[in-house]
Amino acid sequence: MPLLMILPPALFAGLAGLFLAGMFRDDPDALPSTFIGTQAPALPAVALGTYPTFASDDLANGEVKMVNFFASWCPPCRAEHPALMQLAEEGVAVYGVNKSDPTDTALEFLDELGNPYRAITVDRNGRHAIDWGVVALPETFVLDGDGTVVLKFSGPIHGVMDSIIRPALAEAAKPAEAS
């Protein structure tokens, strides 16, 4: 009987300790990614209307770029869109992957808000998003000129432009160190 009285408070204390430790992680918003430092996963070129498209080979074209997974039905995608427009206006190569969206609504989304993407490919069934480790939209990847993933950021980027996105773009632009 005493064990049954001690067990609930002990379990509560253990869980409280885990939650407390989680609050003091370095970056509680960061999701670890196994893709950091590896070649970006494959993407096929699937056109969205008449917009230019791209495939995996285009991601190793020698320039730093961002790959942004988005959808018209995603409210945070709408919220981050002005930040993508700003980066594109500054000359950052932004590539879009439209996920699980009917063509007409994706086109309406871009017609309404503008097109920040240098090229777009479509992931109709979400299979390629899974390959990229996309958890929830929007998700943005920063790639170096060789197509190596430097950053995976989950969520809208408009609140972290100066603290996370711009430093990752600068890091991706650095020449590879000789080994």
Cα–Cα distance between 108 and 70 in angstroms, integer?
A: 13
Whether pLDDT at 122 is above 50: yes
Contacts of 82 (CB under 8 A, 6+ apart): 158
92 in Cβ contact with 66 (< 8 Å): yes
Say what the pTM is.
Answer: 0.81
Fold (CATH) for 29-173 = Glutaredoxin (3.40.30)
Instruction: Give the residue from 99, 138, 127, 117 showing the smallest Cα distance to 50.
Output: 117
pLDDT tens readout for residues 128-169: 999 999 999 999 999 999 999 999 999 999 999 999 999 999
The per-residue pLDDT of the chain, averaged, comes to: 88
Work out the percent of the chain whose per-residue pLDDT is above 90.
75
- Calculate mean pLDDT across residues 108-112: 98
Give percent of the chain with pLDDT exceeding 70.
81
Domain ranges of the chain: 29-173
Q: How many C-beta atoms surround the C-beta of residue 7 within 10 A?
A: 10
Predicted confidence (pLDDT) per residue in 28-77, tens digit? 455 555 779 999 999 999 999 999 999 999 999 999 999 999 999 999 99
Residues 8-37 have pLDDT tens digits of 666 666 665 556 555 555 454 555 557 799
